[in-house]
Amino acid sequence: MFKTIFGNLLIFFVPFLLSGQSINFEIGQTTSFYSHKTQSPEINFFSTTGQSFRFSYSKEFLNNHEVSFGISLEQANSIGRVINTKLIYDTRFLGVFTKLDYNIVSLVNRKFCASCTNIQLFATLGGQLSSLVAGTQKINQSTFNLKGVEDFKGLWISPLIGIKLRFDASDLVSLYGAYEFIPMINITDNKEKFKINQSIIIFGFRLWL
């Protein structure tokens, strides 16, 4: 009897667990802006761009919504100026993240495939935990390593919010574009209150399992 019940449960749950799974590859362009509340002398920061690379696993739930877990490697670059001195920051952060994509609307387009072509719009909420793995500050002709520097060392926690548009090209492949805003906060003791606000424009490729 117990074997029968257990077998029926497996038959019921296994298709659910295996359906709606995917792996995702993302590339993006980051735009970062630094802020420093107590820096003296004052540095005027200007936003500049960098690159983002992500790999994640996603699972659909309640038909149209999905949750993702992944790793990221992102640049958070900036340019600063103190009086007549130019500062160039080039940084790379390695992190782990989780995201919830909530389906706002699904626009079904059956021009190419009667069962698999959809355009879906999602609202994204999530968080990321990251740490600086490489970084330099260039002042005139001199370059300084940022590893271990008070402003950059330790762990950074980052809530994220965004929007995503996904096109299901076939049963196996989906393409999507997204925009995310990610304020980065150093949770390690940082008396100087240094923060990074980052936005990312993403292009993603999804392979359904």
Rounded distance between C-alpha atoms, residue 42 and residue 9, angstroms:
64
Distance, CA of 87 to CA of 34 (rounded, Å): 12
pLDDT band at 1, cuts 50/70/90?
A: low
Q: Is the pLDDT of residue 113 over 90?
A: no
Q: Phi/psi of residue 154, each to 5°?
A: 90, -165
User: What's the confidence (pLDDT) of residue 81?
Assistant: 87
pLDDT of residue 17: 47
21-208 carries CATH number 2.40.160.20: yes
Q: What is the pLDDT of residues 12-64, one digit of tens each?
A: 444 444 457 999 999 999 999 998 876 667 788 999 999 999 999 999 988 78
Average of per-residue pLDDT values in the chain? 85
Beta bridge partners of 44: 81
Q: What is the mean pLDDT of residues 130-135?
A: 95
If we measure between CA atoms, which residue out of 103, 153, 157 comes closest to residue 130?
A: 157
pLDDT at residue 111 tops 70: no
> What average pLDDT score do residues 172-197 get?
87
Q: How high is the pLDDT of residue 11?
A: 45
Query: What is the C-alpha to C-alpha distance for residues 19 and 8, in angstroms, rounded to an integer?
Result: 18
Q: Is a pLDDT exceeding 70 seen at residue 78? A: yes
pLDDT for the residue 39:
60
Query: Can you list the pairs that 81-89 forms with residues at least 24 positions away whose Cβ atoms lie under 8 Å?
Result: 81/43, 81/44, 81/46, 82/41, 82/42, 82/43, 82/44, 83/41, 85/139, 85/140, 86/139, 86/140, 87/43, 87/137, 87/138, 87/139, 88/137, 88/138, 89/34, 89/135, 89/136, 89/137, 89/146
Higher pLDDT, 188 or 2: 188
Burial of 173 from C-beta contacts in 10 A (0-12 / 13-18 / 19+): middle
SS3 38: coil
Share of the chain above pLDDT 70, in %: 83
Contact 71, 54 (CB under 8 A): yes
Burial pattern 58-79, b for ≥16 Cβ within 10 A else e, equals bbbeeebebebebebbbbbbbe
**Distance between CA 130 and CA 2 in Å, rounded?**
46
Instruction: Report the pLDDT averaged over residues 83-104.
Output: 94
